[in-house]
């Protein structure tokens, strides 16, 4: 069995008195693409924020590479290869595409390899290469999503966490983004994909977890979940 890179056990997160995440447990093994699906407001983004140290948790544990990382800041975790592409992309709008990619490598000092990795990102995203000197803020939402993913890859992630990468994009761009997520995974990156688009997310994944009202209500083989009548009724509009 592959190594468990990320293991979340009984995770609880509260905003004020409201418990947003109520004891969530899941794991991600090396080389997997795991999808975490659920309706808007199910607690998916809050879970990712807790895993990456952005939002403090009030209970449970988060283990990464076999050690508890509770209480560590996002900057510590990025250095260890736990890297998130946030919902809403968060590109540096007044910087060029190339400068954004360089920012993704700010923890590194292997300059020759950084240049080589920028070329690798351009190979995955030819559209970024064409516009390498364009300001990020002048790009479309889909292009900014590509840039946010490329920037995260520059940090050499061991586990890449993607929060709603298809949100707000045109159908053509959604196709492109899922294609790229699959490509990144096929190239050897372990991925945890959080998505409202349950059908697409489960088609890509090996395993899936379904979240509802702050809890994991179902989990298992992604293809089985995709064909489960309850999942189809709740998330695929059938």
Helices (H) and strands (E) in the chain, counts: 10, 10
Average pLDDT of the residues in 127-137: 96
Q: Would you say residue 115 lies in a domain?
A: yes
One-character DSSP codes across 11-50: EEEEETTEEEEEEEEEEEETT-EEEEE--TTSSHHHHHHH
CA distance 227 to 152: 32
Q: Would you say residue 18 lies in a domain?
A: no
Q: What is the pLDDT of residue 203?
A: 94
CA distance 148 to 114: 16
Count of Cβ atoms closer than 10 Å to residue 147 Cβ: 26
Q: What is the pLDDT of residue 41?
A: 86
Degrees to nearest 5, angle at CA 73 with 69 and 76? 80
Q: Would you say residue 150 lies in a domain?
A: yes
- If you count them, how many residues does the chain have? 238
Give the tens place of pLDDT for each residue, 136-190: 999 999 999 999 999 999 999 999 999 999 999 999 999 999 999 999 999 999 9
pTM across the whole model: 0.94
Q: Would you say residue 22 lies in a domain?
A: no
Count of Cβ atoms closer than 10 Å to residue 29 Cβ: 16
Q: Residue 21: phi, psi to the nearest 5?
A: -125, 125
Strand order in the sheet with 18-29: 18-29, 4-15, 59-64, 67-68
CATH number at residue 38: 3.40.50.300
Q: Would you say residue 217 lies in a domain?
A: yes
Q: Would you say residue 88 lies in a domain?
A: yes
Q: What is the pLDDT of residue 48?
A: 95
CB 178 within 8 A of CB 166: yes
Count of Cβ atoms closer than 10 Å to residue 10 Cβ: 12
Domain count, the chain: 1
Q: What confidence category does residue 233 fall into, taking pLDDT thresholds of 50, 70 and 90? A: confident
Q: Would you say residue 93 lies in a domain?
A: yes
pLDDT value at 122 more than 90: yes
CB 101 within 8 A of CB 152: no
Residues of the domain holding 156: 32-53+73-235
3-state helix, strand, coil in the chain (%, to 5): 40, 30, 35
User: Rg of the Cα trace of the chain?
Assistant: 17
Give the tens place of pLDDT for each residue, 30-65: 999 999 999 888 999 999 999 999 999 999 999 999
Q: Would you say residue 16 lies in a domain?
A: no
């Amino acid at each position: 069995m592959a190594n468990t890179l990320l293991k979340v056990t009984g995770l609880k997160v509260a905003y004020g008195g409201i418990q947003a995440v109520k004891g969530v447990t899941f794991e991600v093994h090396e080389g997997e693409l795991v999808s975490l699906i659920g309706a808007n407001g199910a607690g998916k983004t809050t879970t990712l924020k807790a895993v990456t140290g952005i939002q403090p948790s009030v209970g449970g544990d988060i283990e990464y590479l076999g050690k508890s990382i509770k209480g560590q800041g996002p900057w510590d975790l990025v250095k260890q290869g736990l890297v998130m592409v946030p919902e809403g992309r968060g590109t540096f709008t007044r910087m060029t595409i190339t400068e954004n990619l360089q920012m993704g490598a700010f923890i590194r000092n292997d300059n020759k390899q950084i240049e080589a990795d920028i070329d690798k990102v351009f190979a995955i995203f030819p559209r970024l290469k064409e516009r390498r000197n364009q300001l990020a803020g002048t790009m479309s939402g889909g292009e900014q999503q590509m840039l946010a993913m490329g920037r995260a890859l520059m940090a050499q992630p061991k586990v890449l966490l993607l929060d709603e990468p298809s949100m707000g994009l045109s159908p053509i761009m959604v196709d492109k983004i899922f294609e790229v997520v699959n490509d990144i995974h096929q190239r050897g990156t372990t991925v945890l994909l959080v998505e409202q688009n349950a059908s697409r997310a489960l088609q890509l994944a090996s395993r899936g977890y379904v979240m509802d009202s702050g809890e994991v209500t179902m989990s298992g083989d992604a293809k089985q979940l995709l064909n489960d009548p309850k999942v189809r009724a709740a998330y695929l509009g059938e």
